[in-house]
Structure 1
Amino acid sequence: MRPMLRVEKLLLPALGLVALAFVYPAAELLGRSFTEPPGGFSHYQDVFGSSSLMTIVGRSALTAALVMAVSLLLGFPVAWLAANSSPRVAKLILGVVAASLFVSVIVRGYSWLAILDRNGVLNTVLGAIGLESMQRTLVHNRAGVVIGMSQYGIPFMILPLYDVMSRFDNRLLAASANLGARQWTTFWRVYVPLILPGIGAGCTIVFIATLGYYVLPSILGGPGDVMIGELIADKIQTTGDWGQGTALASVLLAVALLFFVAFYRFSLRGREGSS
């Protein structure tokens, strides 16, 4: 018991730092949403009673879900390739994935702007090869936001997927095949349930990270595709409406926590079903 108590005491400074950096700001945020004049639940009544504000909340959740789905669709084969390659190839793939995280999101945003704009690189190439009919403006709209944030979210999807896939026992696939299961059945009934923790972790990280994201939507989005992060920044920085701004931030936090709990329970059920 004594060594355990010593370990717990050593954790106290770290727990204090977490409380100072995360718990206190969240509590302050929640408190201001109730104490800012006129106080009480008035700011939440304004938020939930406004169809335009709830539309922005719904649009943000839908966009984050689309980014999560695209990140999973594109990140899954990359993670699988890294997990089933030689150590040298796996290190190369993961090195490229990790290197993308060192590029500033502002640089990435303006890079996508230069690529996807009406007179950007993509449309210039399409025009040069005679495909003018396929030219589109893919920025200042939801398509640009989804593309830009998917590129941001894919690395956060690949890393937890790789961690689970690299520890998967491939003998289970051979055993399933020997028992007469088809490849597609083996994939859905054996492989996917056992890597659900990685899928759940990746989806949770990407969804929560992109739900309230501000930088890329402000660069690639348009007036008709305002996200909740942009709205909160506008309420607090431009209009000085701390009451409604903190109420919106609290709603954002609640949506993120609900999604986290839902996906955590889903991952647990998947693991129990496969055991």
Structure 2
Amino acid sequence: MSVAAGTRAALRQPAPPSFASKIKNFLRIDGWGALVLPLLVFLILVFILPLFVMLQKSFTDPTFGWQNYTAIFAQSVYVKVLGNTFLTAAIVTAVTLLLAFPYAYLMTLATPKWRTVMLVLVLVPFWTSILVRSFALVLLLRDTGVLNSLAQDAGLIAEPVTIIRTMSGVVIGMVQVALPFAVLPIYATMRTIDRRLLQAAEGLGDRPSGAFLRIFVPLSLPGVAAAILLTFVQALGYYITPALLGGPKNTMIGELIVQQVSTVLRFGFAAALATMLLVTTFLLIGLASKYFDLQKHLMGQS
């Protein structure tokens, strides 16, 4: 190609868009895109803006600086609340996973009729207020509640077993709230596993238990990871259930935030606690998304 032809070809190529044109194209909204504007404004007003206000207060209330964050670790009582929060969340996640995994597996084996029944049982908690469920557990688990009364009438125990205001009561209450959030992603992953792989493994001489452990369990790990993430992140911020079923020794960070806002009026310190919780959540989601396709296993997309 001659120099003149190359020059003409270069002149025919469109010029790269300027920065102003890129901004204009980004902000341009067509007729259908305008439908997103009300939702976008709503999210900015009730979600994004409060987050910025919370972050700003954590550094400026009562004075500008890091004092609200350093105060979290300055007193042992706050460090104990943080440790108790993460310990409780870990226990709840482990117990929930131990219950959710076999339940989800049974759903894959059940007939369509029984699978529907099992799915309805999982979804029933979504249709009931968490406050109502927590109060029902108080009536069920208290010293004079149904469980202790039945056990005493049957002669299994002589004195009531204290469950309310203990770690056990908090775990039981939080597990029954978190269980649906663990069952659904695990089941969504398990239902996509081709069971012919298990049959092939058994045909090659492996035992059913070995085929299950070597093939089915590893293939279900993305759903398990999604369930762990959902359960653990939710458990970090629980307030109603620990407040009703726990005691002073089982205080979690959600209760501490409410106490600081409503009783002590330390808004900056409460904002710092909430910011720590938010940052921890983002870190966990970022870490999980590095190894698993969260969009697929949490949103049902391929």
Distance change in 2, residues 1:80/1:229 (3 Å)? same
Q: Residue 198 of structure 2 corresponds to which residue in structure 1? A: 173
For residue 241 of structure 1, what is the amino acid of its counterpart?
A: R
Q: Distance in 1 between matches of 2:247 and 2:219?
A: 41
Distance change in 2, residues 1:247/1:208 (3 Å)? same
The worse-fitting range, judged by mean Cα deviation, of 101-110 and 22-31 is 22-31
For residue 225 of structure 1, what is the amino acid of its counterpart?
A: N
Q: Residue 185 of structure 1 corresponds to which residue in structure 2? A: 210
Q: CA deviation at 1:16?
A: 5.0
Q: Distance in 2 between matches of 1:139 and 1:24?
A: 38
Q: CA RMSD in A?
A: 2.4
Q: Distance in 2 between matches of 1:197 and 1:18?
A: 30
Q: Residue 108 of structure 2 corresponds to which residue in structure 1? A: 83
Q: Deviations over 1:18-62 (max 9, x none)?
A: 444433322221111011122211111111222221211111111
Asked whether the 8 Å contact 1:126–1:134 carries over to 2, the reply is no
Q: CA deviation at 1:155?
A: 0.9
Match of 1:52 among 72, 77, 100: 77
Unaligned segments of structure 1, at least 5 residues: 269-275
Q: Residue 273 of structure 1 corresponds to which residue in structure 2? A: none
SS of aligned partner of 2:127: coil
The worse-fitting range, judged by mean Cα deviation, of 225-234 and 106-115 is 106-115
Q: TM (normalized to structure 2)?
A: 0.81
Of structures 1 and 2, the larger Rg is shown by 2
Q: Distance in 2 between matches of 1:109 and 1:26?
A: 29
Percent identity for Structure 1 against Structure 2: 37
Asked whether the 8 Å contact 2:144–2:160 carries over to 1, the reply is no
Distance change in 2, residues 1:194/1:38 (3 Å)? same
SS of aligned partner of 1:91: helix
Q: Residue 170 of structure 2 corresponds to which residue in structure 1? A: 145
* 1:33 equivalenced with 2:54 (yes/no): no
Q: Distance in 1 between matches of 2:74 and 2:258?
A: 20
1:260-271 correspondence to structure 2 within 5 Å: 260-267=285-292
Q: Distance in 2 between matches of 1:7 and 1:164?
A: 37
Q: Distance in 2 between matches of 1:42 and 1:114?
A: 42
* 1:132 equivalenced with 2:157 (yes/no): yes
Q: Distance in 1 between matches of 2:96 and 2:30?
A: 42
Distance change in 2, residues 1:20/1:120 (3 Å)? same
Q: Residue 271 of structure 1 corresponds to which residue in structure 2? A: none
Unaligned segments of structure 2, at least 5 residues: 1-28, 294-302
Distance change in 2, residues 1:11/1:81 (3 Å)? farther
Distance change in 2, residues 1:17/1:174 (3 Å)? farther
Q: CA deviation at 1:12?
A: 4.9
* 1:70 equivalenced with 2:95 (yes/no): yes
For residue 142 of structure 1, what is the amino acid of its counterpart?
A: M
